[in-house]
Structure 1
């Protein structure tokens, strides 16, 4: 079966969706849609796509896609998802999945009522280190998880950052959590498999950069620290626009072993152990670590030689699993419970940012609140 695909939202990320849909070999992009005609036209022309629309309902009626990728700002996701489900389409959503947990629940309920699949682009779980971590957890190689420490950097001097800083009307400024609301999915999607829905949250958010003179732009904080507790598991998080080099890391501390993941370098190494007595023993860990990094390097070289090291290779892996769920009825690569947990914690962080104490909690577990066993 060859899936017929369509894309709603023709911004920069849409290029990645088109490229990776084609790379999977699972379907054809038959149409693109954007309210701004020029955006739809330029994407369709560059990518050689026949259908180009400014009205989503008309596109769905005329092209009848099997799967629609929604790559618009999150405040439009609920309405667009409803439109797609009612047209008989499965939906793959760009993050953030929705504006709030309540909207996320509505989207998931609509998918279930129409018998359709819905996915979200939590792509970094499918980077090489994320897949390695998945294997370690499935083998119970780390023991019980004690703590996770996650760090995510953001460059406000990059193309996207400059657009946000220069335009007070940019949609990021409309989000309740502003910049953080747009990037927290990347941070939280990697840790929620180890948590349940009973979450305590403490937050510190502030603006480190100087004033610009725009009240809207200056209202956007650019440094975030948060601490979560879910039963016996804790999470510390750091989102920084100023730390250099720009980081994207995760440390997972277990009762048996601990690992450190670098998503930029695509490495996973086990934390150093000092097993030998006396000062002589301190000579060995550095060599053991070097050997682990070398193995990661050779593994990545092998992926490169097999043409599996593309920047969005992780999205390709996620899409293959999502299309398997659509065509063959396999499990959702991102389960609904995990999507809800991410959006619930984002709600908690946004609430805590607006609270003088910086705290917020939830202790109302749902049917989907049980911890998962693998990321």
Structure 2
């Protein structure tokens, strides 16, 4: 619940681009009162306010400060391009608001540290926008891990596909000046927070080492500018205190999907975030060829159970795409009202940023070496 004293948490959103629609919808579903939206351009702020029936909108160079002073939100969502996250979130914190920052939370780890320090200095909460941690299927997976059902975690494997032909892919391939092209790791940088936020908690304390990172450009060159520069595949191998992980971001795999497999000393578990299904792999103790039949039976049984779950969810209107976002918002609003801890602390965002920094640096070194070899 977003209420404690009978009033809903007052929320404002800075940045009225594509992802803002999800924030506005899920903030309302989480019980918040959206009091204002803000954007650098009038038409973006005005259309968001009109479509979502938000009572106030602010635009222009002084819009943020005016909104903070007049609308007085308790929680501010920052949904602008990543390069502006730190200054905007810091201004909201200084005005007394708690902040929720969309992923990637900052451009690099140094900015993540600066944001942590700003939140501590102003005594406000800052929550990282790692909403997939609260997706129902990941909640089920984490419960299995925490209960010891898998034994000790040995390895995690995350795969994220991306369709460049989709609506957002069309935006960045159609505009060489798009902010995506200014991120250190390009398109992958904007998306790696999702799989990394899922695997890092499984690897033990501390930030894992990037044992290897490989970026590849496999699409044909078409533009002769920044649109040809970003890697359309990025592979990262991580070594943590207790386990290892591999992460693949690819614009080539079909279907484009996000999946996580965790291997333990007793069992493995596979989660599909697109299907919102979970399959526990236990193996078989039957002899010879019967073992193969038993494995197939277990797979079919698990698939049937998940089909029944999803069918029930469909009948009860529970298959919301951003359900994890709603649950994270609700948890953050409760923490803001009760003085609790942020459900996804900035330390998690810092760890993700450190991995992306290291992977991006490794890819740049490899690119330079390849260019020198061709010279």
| Same fold by TM-score greater than 0.5 | yes
Equivalents in 2 of 1:314, 1:197: separation in Å?
24
1:354 partner SS: helix
Question: Which of 34, 55, 64 matches 1:56?
Answer: 64
- Residue 139 (structure 1) aligns with: 147
- Residue 219 (structure 2) aligns with: 209
- Does structure 1 residue 38 correspond to structure 2 residue 43? yes
Give runs of ≥4 in structure 1 deviating > 4 Å: none
Deviation of 1:246 (Å) = 0.8
- Residue 124 (structure 1) aligns with: 132
1:50 partner SS: coil
Deviation of 1:99 (Å) = 0.5
Question: Which of 79, 92, 107 matches 2:115?
Answer: 107
Equivalents in 1 of 2:182, 2:82: separation in Å?
10
| Structure 1, gaps ≥5 residues long | 359-375
Aligned pairs for 1:188-337 (under 5 A) are: 188-195=196-203, 196-337=206-347
- Does structure 1 residue 181 correspond to structure 2 residue 193? no
Q: Deviations over 1:188-230 (max 9, x none)?
A: 0001112322413311111111111232111111111121112
- Residue 7 (structure 1) aligns with: 13
Cα 1:302/1:332, change in 2 over 3 Å: farther
Equivalents in 2 of 1:278, 1:327: separation in Å?
59
2:165 partner SS: coil
Equivalents in 2 of 1:231, 1:87: separation in Å?
39
Equivalents in 1 of 2:243, 2:154: separation in Å?
5
- Does structure 1 residue 350 correspond to structure 2 residue 360? yes
Deviation of 1:334 (Å) = 0.9
Deviation of 1:276 (Å) = 0.4
Equivalents in 2 of 1:264, 1:324: separation in Å?
28
1:301 partner SS: helix
Equivalents in 1 of 2:242, 2:73: separation in Å?
45
Equivalents in 2 of 1:282, 1:220: separation in Å?
43
Q: Is the CA contact 1:201–1:348 (under 8 Å) kept in the aligned structure 2?
A: no
Question: Which of 23, 30, 45 matches 1:17?
Answer: 23
Aligned pairs for 1:66-81 (under 5 A) are: 66-81=74-89
Q: Is the CA contact 2:79–2:101 (under 8 Å) kept in the aligned structure 1?
A: yes
Cα 1:17/1:357, change in 2 over 3 Å: closer
Deviation of 1:357 (Å) = 9.3
Q: Is the CA contact 2:210–2:355 (under 8 Å) kept in the aligned structure 1?
A: no
TM-score normalised per structure 2: 0.92
Q: Over aligned residue pairs, what C-alpha RMSD do you find?
A: 1.6
Equivalents in 2 of 1:23, 1:318: separation in Å?
11
Equivalents in 1 of 2:334, 2:146: separation in Å?
21
Equivalents in 1 of 2:291, 2:102: separation in Å?
48
Deviation of 1:328 (Å) = 1.8
| Structure 2, gaps ≥5 residues long | 1-6, 369-375
Q: Deviations over 1:306-331 (max 9, x none)?
A: 43321111111111111111112333
Cα 1:247/1:198, change in 2 over 3 Å: closer
Deviation of 1:298 (Å) = 2.1
Equivalents in 2 of 1:73, 1:331: separation in Å?
26
